[in-house]
Amino acid sequence: MPLLQHLCQLLYGSSFGTAIRESDYAYSIIESVHVISITLLVGTIAVLDLRMLGLLLRPIAITRIARAVIPLTWSGFVVMFFSGALLFWADNLSAGPRVGDLARLSLARPHCGDVFTRALGRYHRCGPRHRLLLN
């Protein structure tokens, strides 16, 4: 038996995984928290991206929005990661291989940090004339 499949069966058969899976409310609550945190992550990224495109909140500086939004984005990511781990722990064998979950996880992390740091780095490197264009 492959190591990963054996690990998944150990998690699935554990008392903690069984408790989440068989609880009347635990799985539903964790799944709801997971969806809300995904919404928080995508929503905050969308607000900053739309501001960078000049389609939203034009009078407010990008850095001010970024300072307000980035902590929420990372909070959403952390909660999404841990709630997803709990969901995987409780129900990892029912849907077969989770290639889609692994692909989303590998794509989520670079987008969260790199987009923000590149945008803020570009903002701080440019001169006062160009900052007017970014504001």
Nearest CA to 45 among 25, 19, 74?
74
pLDDT at 126: 46
Residue 83, CB-side half-sphere exposure with 13 Å CA sphere: 19
> Is the dihedral angle over the CA atoms 64, 127, 121, 47 positive or is it negative?
positive
Report yes or no: 82 and 10 within 8 Å, Cβ to Cβ: no
Locate the domains of the chain by residue range. 3-134
| pLDDT grade for 59, boundaries at 50, 70 and 90 | very high
Average pLDDT over residues 98-104: 55
pLDDT at 100: 55
Task: Give the pLDDT confidence of 16-51 residue by residue, as tens digits.
Answer: 988 998 998 999 999 999 999 999 999 999 999 999
Distance CA 127, CA 39 (A): 35
pLDDT at 60: 92
